[in-house]
Amino acid sequence: MRPALIPLLALLATQSGFAQTNAPADDWKPASSNQPGKEYPKVNSERRVKFRIVAPEAKSVGVTFRDSSPFTKGDDGAWYGHTRPLDEGFHYYALKIDGAEVPDPNSMMYFGAMRWGSAVEIPAADQDSYALRDVPHGQVREVFFRSKSTGTQRRAFVYTPPGYDENPGKRYPVLYLQHGWGENEYGWSVQGRVREILDNLVAEGRAKPFIVVMIYGLTNETRMGGLRDFDITPFETVLVKELIPFVDSGFRTLADQPNRAMAGLSMGGMETRTVTLRNLDTFSHIGVFSGGSIALADIKDPAAFKQKVRRVFIGYGSRELGGDRGNRGGDPKAAVAALKEAGIDAVFYESPETAHEWQTWRRCLREFAPLLFQK
Amino acid sequence: MRPALIPLLALLATQSGFAQTNAPADDWKPASSNQPGKEYPKVNSERRVKFRIVAPEAKSVGVTFRDSSPFTKGDDGAWYGHTRPLDEGFHYYALKIDGAEVPDPNSMMYFGAMRWGSAVEIPAADQDSYALRDVPHGQVREVFFRSKSTGTQRRAFVYTPPGYDENPGKRYPVLYLQHGWGENEYGWSVQGRVREILDNLVAEGRAKPFIVVMIYGLTNETRMGGLRDFDITPFETVLVKELIPFVDSGFRTLADQPNRAMAGLSMGGMETRTVTLRNLDTFSHIGVFSGGSIALADIKDPAAFKQKVRRVFIGYGSRELGGDRGNRGGDPKAAVAALKEAGIDAVFYESPETAHEWQTWRRCLREFAPLLFQK
C-alpha cells in the first residue's frame, strides 16, 4: 500500500476493532480446516474465527491474528477468543499460551512460515472451484529422485491428471510449480488444492489435462536463512538437470519445450522468472504469482523470447498492488502492458480482495491453467 | 501384565526414575522426527528424549511420557525436561503448558491418538530396514474413489512398487493394509514406512514387488467413538465392494484371490481377521499385527480355509505378550501352533523388546512381506 495511506488504514482498523463494537454474529460453524471431529475453531458469517483451547492454569492465551479479541476463560477451563473479519481463503496462525507459540491442537497441520502448524480456512464465494467434487480425479504421487548435485534423495509430488492410467498411449505436457519462502513441496497439493482445481477445470473442459510437478524450492535442507544472498544455481541445477530428466523418463510426458511450463508463487515466482529466462529452450509458458513480474529490460534477446515463449502470466492479489511486492520487474500491470506492446502474449490477473496468501494463488492457478498448452 | 506383578513393576519404575539418579548421558542429538532445522527434541544414547519449549510466562510445563523429569525454565525463557529411557522406534506425545495439551511445535506432525500431533523417533539397531536408501523407489499415490455406500469421495494411499511405471505390461498382487484405532490412512506410509520397508526388501530380492492399498478403517468421518459397539459391515462394504473394484480397474493388479492379501495392526488386525474369514474367496494371505490371532474355533469350515488360505501371519511385540492383547483368538503363540497342527501355513513373529507401537508393526510388515505371494 502507498505510505500515505497507512495512517488512515491503521485508524480504520482500530475503529473496526470488534472489542469496542457489537458482539460477533452468533452463527459459528466448525472450520473445514479442523482436525476430524473438532468443533473449534469456528467461523461465522462475518468471516471471524473463534478459538477454544483448554488451558486451565494459563495466565494468558492469545492468537497470532492481529486485532483479535482478548481471550477469556470459561467455567470449563477452556479459553475462548475470536478474530477480526478475515479475508476469504486460507490463513496460517498459532496460539499463544503464557508466551509459548504453539499449533492449535484442533487444526489440521500445514507447512508455512517454516513450520508445520495450524491454519484456518474461511469459506469463499468461489470455493467450489477448489472443492473436492464428484468428478474424475487425478492422483498426487509422492516420489523420490536421486540428486547427484546435492547428494540426496529428494521428494517430489507429481499430479497426474484424470485418465492418465487409463490412457497408456497418451503423453502429457508438464507444469513445474513452486511454493513460496517458508513453505515446502507439500504446499501446492495441500493448501494450494492443485488436484481439486485441475480435476475441476478438466471436468469442465476448461483446461487440457497436464502433469504438475512440485519440489522443495531450496537446497538447504534445514529450510533456514534469508533470501538476501539467495543463490538460485543449486536449485536450478536440481530442477533442470535432475528433476526434468527424472520426470521425462518416469512419466509419459511430452518432453519438449512447447509442452513445458514453470510457475511459482512469491519466492517461487522469483525463481520462475530467473530459471525460465535462463532456460528459454526448456520452458515455453511462464507463470509468476505474487512474485514480481517480467520487465522488457529483464529480457536479453526480445526476438528470441517472443519466438520461444508462448505465454506469460502475472498474477497478484488486489491487496498487494500499489505496494512494493510488484517492484521486481516494475509495476506488474505496466510491465505486462509493455510485454504486450512488444508483441509478447502476456496476461495480467488480479485476484479480488485477497492479499499475499493462498486464496490469491489458488485463483492464479485456476486462471493460468486454461491458458496452458493451447497453441 | 498379570495383576500380581503390577505393584512390583510400579515400585521398579519409581526406583529407576532418573530424577533421583545420575544425570542423563550428555550426547544429545536432534531427533530425526523433528521439523526441518529444529534442534529439539534431542535423543541421547540412553534413548532418553530432551525437550525445549519457549514459554516464558508459564507456571508449569511437562510432557505426556510417564516418569519424565520435572521441566525447569532456563535463563532464555525456555523450559527443558527429559524422559526415561524409551524403547526403540516411534512414540506419540504432547506437551503440557499450564494445563493445555498441545503439539510440540518442533516435531513433525503425525496422526495418532485421534489427532495430528507430535511424536519422536528413537534410533533403532534395525533402522536401516526402514530408512530411505539409495535404491529404486516405489511411489505413494494419494487417490480418491467414489463410495456409493457412504455417499463420499474417499481417500486411499496406494503404494506402487519400483518398476511399476517402467513395466506397463506387468501385473502385481495387492496387499490391503490397515492402521489401528485412533489412527488413519496416513499411518502406514508416514510412521509405518511402507515405502521404505518394501523398496528395501525388493532391492534385496527378499520380497516380490506388490501393490499396497491403505484406507481409513472406519466410516464415521469424525473418527470418534469407541470400539465396543463397532459394526464392521460399513467398512467391509467400502473395502470389498468399492475399493477392491476401484483398485482392480485403475491399477495393473493380479485381480484374483491368490494374489490378494489383507493385514492390519491392532484394530486393523481385528478387522483383517473378521473381513478375511468372511471373504475367503477374496483374500488368500492374512496378517494380524498386535490385533489378536485366529483360533481354530474362529474357522467355520477348516477344510475350505486350509484350501483357500495360503498363509496366516500373527505378530506381536514381546512387551505385549502375556497380557490380554492376545486374548481375541486365544494366546497367539498357542493359536498359531494349533493352526499349524491343523495343516494351515501359519507363522508367529515376536518383535524383540517392543510394545503396542509402530516399531512392532514396521517389523511385522518387514517379516510378513517376504512371505507374501510366494506360492
Q: What is the mean pLDDT of residues A343-352?
A: 97
Last residue of a domain, one of A92, A123, A154: A123
- Write the secondary structure of A2-43 as one string of H (helix), E (strand) and C (coil): CHHHHHHHHHHHHHCCHHHCCCCCCCCEECCCECCCCCCCEE
What per-residue confidence (pLDDT) applies to B226? Answer: 60
Chain B nearest CA to A9, separation (Å): 33
Q: In this structure, are B290 and B332 located in the same domain?
A: yes
> Are the beta carbons of B57 and A56 separated by less than 8 Å?
no
Query: What ipTM was predicted for this assembly?
Result: 0.91
Last residue of a domain, one of A97, A123, A149: A123
Last residue of a domain, one of B101, B123, B145: B123
Q: In this structure, are B320 and B171 located in the same domain?
A: yes
Half-sphere exposure of A21 (CA within 13 A, CB side): 12
In which residue ranges of chain B is pLDDT below 70?
1-22, 221-229, 323-329
Which residues from A are below 8 Å from B166, CB to CB? 250
Q: In this structure, are B191 and B281 located in the same domain?
A: yes
Q: Which of B60, B114, B140 sits opposite A57 (nearest CB)?
A: B60
Instruction: Identify whether B123 is preceded by a cis peptide bond (ω within 30 of 0).
Output: no
Q: Which of A54, A137, A144 sits opposite B144 (nearest CB)?
A: A137
More confident residue, A15 or A333: A333
Q: In this structure, are B181 and B249 located in the same domain?
A: yes
3-state secondary structure of A274: helix
- What lies within 8 Å, CB to CB, of B53 at 6+ separation is A100, A102, B61, B78, B79, B95, B97, B104, B105, B106
H or E stretch including A287? strand A285-289
Q: What is the mean pLDDT of residues A151-158?
A: 96
What per-residue confidence (pLDDT) applies to B15? Answer: 41
What per-residue confidence (pLDDT) applies to A204? Answer: 98
What per-residue confidence (pLDDT) applies to B230? Answer: 76
Domain count, chain A: 2
Which among A1, A247, A266, A260 has a CA at the least distance from the CA of A112? A266
What per-residue confidence (pLDDT) applies to B375? Answer: 75
Q: In this structure, are A164 and A178 located in the same domain?
A: yes
What per-residue confidence (pLDDT) applies to A3? Answer: 40
Looking at residue B59, which CATH number applies to its domain? 2.60.40.10
B 198-257: CB under 8 A from A: 221-224, 250-251
Q: In this structure, are A254 and A115 located in the same domain?
A: no
- At A294-313, the pLDDT tens digits run 999 999 999 999 999 999 99
Q: In this structure, are A213 and A94 located in the same domain?
A: no
Judged against a pLDDT cut of 80, whether residue A221 lies above it is answered with no
Alpha-carbon torsion angle A68, A70, A74, A77, nearest 10 = 90
- At A193-210, the pLDDT tens digits run 999 999 999 999 999 999
Half-sphere exposure of B278 (CA within 13 A, CB side): 12
B 2-31: CB under 8 A from A: none
Chain B nearest CA to A296, separation (Å): 38
Q: In this structure, are B282 and B227 located in the same domain?
A: yes
What per-residue confidence (pLDDT) applies to B219? Answer: 85
Q: In this structure, are B85 and B145 located in the same domain?
A: no
CB neighbourhood size of A342 (10 A): 14
A 141-200: CB under 8 A from B: 141-144, 146, 153, 165-166, 168, 184, 189, 195
Q: In this structure, are A275 and A152 located in the same domain?
A: yes
Look up the domain containing B13 and give its range.
3-123
Q: What is the mean pLDDT of residues A28-40?
A: 96
8 A C-beta contact, residue B182 and residue B270: no
Q: In this structure, are B135 and B117 located in the same domain?
A: no
CB contact, 8 Å: A76 with chain B? no
> Are the beta carbons of A36 and B95 separated by less than 8 Å?
no
Looking at residue A205, which CATH number applies to its domain? 3.40.50.1820
> Are the beta carbons of B97 and A251 separated by less than 8 Å?
no
Q: Which residue of A has its CA nearest to B143?
A: A139
Judged against a pLDDT cut of 60, whether residue A131 lies above it is answered with yes
The pLDDT mean for chain A works out to 91
Judged against a pLDDT cut of 90, whether residue A60 lies above it is answered with yes
User: What are the CA-CA distances from residue A67 to residues A16, A46, A202, A262 (Å)?
Assistant: 9, 15, 41, 38
Interface test mutation site (partner A, options B64, B132, B135, B143, max chain A beta carbons within 10 A): B143
Which residues from A are below 8 Å from B140, CB to CB? 141-142
Give the start-end residues of each E strand in B17-173.
29-30, 42-43, 49-54, 61-63, 72-73, 78-82, 89-93, 95-97, 100-102, 109-112, 115-122, 139-147, 152-160
What per-residue confidence (pLDDT) applies to B327? Answer: 54
Q: Which residue of B has its CA nearest to A167?
A: B250
Q: In this structure, are A155 and A115 located in the same domain?
A: no
Q: What is the mean pLDDT of residues A331-341?
A: 94
What per-residue confidence (pLDDT) applies to B2? Answer: 39
